[in-house]
């Protein structure tokens, strides 16, 4: 049973490539099966792995001299011969193009979203400014109305006061005239008596 499982794991590794865990456990012979990894690079990988497990395939590239992007990709995909390398390269190009078109689409969508946000913000700000302006206008109108009322009240008061004053003056004048007539009449009567 253990042999069957080990065989399936070996088959899966060959078919699907090598995971990071498998890379951290692989011996020199298993590593040498990968295209581009010879005895020297396999030894260097094993030696470097003793210092600490690889955290990623990028970590492998940084820590081991001679392991570039292509060899790391070969290890990752389990490429064992040169014919497979070309297939991987073509697949990688297609994937890269696909990613590029997806990225371009994402960027376009983001730009569109940003434009929409700006439009919404602008609309919102315009609406707020308009509301503020309308509020200011209504406040100004209210002030004008209040001033008019005040002035009208003042004018009425002034007019009423003037009327009262005129009436007072008229009464005084009338009283003076009446007094003057009475005095005149008295004088005339006293002259007649004399």
Tokens encoding 40: 């020297």
More confident residue, 114 or 93: 114
Q: Is 164 exposed, middle or buried (0-12, 13-18, 19+ CB in 10 A)?
A: exposed
SS3 35: coil
Mean pLDDT of the chain: 76
Tokens encoding 175: 């009283």
CATH number of 2-80: 1.10.150
pLDDT of residue 15: 45
pLDDT tens string 42-64: 899 899 889 988 888 888 888 88
pLDDT of residue 43: 92
pLDDT tens string 120-175: 888 888 888 888 888 888 888 888 888 888 787 777 777 777 778 888 888 888 88
Confidence check: pLDDT of 19 > 60: yes
Q: DSSP per residue over 133-167, as a string?
A: HHHHHHHHHHHHHHHHHHHHHHHHHHHHHHHHHHH
């Amino acid at each position: 049973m253990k042999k069957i499982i080990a065989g399936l794991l070996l088959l899966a590794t060959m078919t699907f490539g090598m995971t990071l865990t498998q890379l951290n456990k692989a011996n020199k012979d298993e590593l040498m099966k990968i295209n581009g990894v010879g005895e020297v690079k396999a030894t260097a990988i094993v030696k470097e792995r003793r210092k600490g497990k690889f955290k990623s395939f990028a970590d492998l590239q940084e820590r081991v001299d001679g392991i570039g992007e292509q060899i790391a990709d070969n290890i990752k995909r389990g490429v064992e011969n040169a014919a497979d390398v070309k297939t991987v390269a073509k697949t990688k190009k297609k994937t890269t193009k696909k990613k590029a078109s997806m990225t371009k689409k994402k960027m376009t969508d983001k730009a569109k979203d940003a434009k929409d946000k700006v439009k919404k913000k602008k609309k919102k700000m315009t609406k707020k400014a308009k509301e503020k302006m309308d509020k200011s206008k209504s406040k100004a109108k209210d002030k004008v109305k209040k001033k008019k009322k005040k002035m009208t009240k003042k004018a009425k008061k002034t007019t009423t006061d003037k009327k009262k004053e005129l009436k007072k003056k008229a009464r005084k004048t009338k009283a003076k005239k009446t007094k003057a007539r009475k005095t005149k009449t008295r004088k005339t009567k006293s002259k007649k008596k004399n």
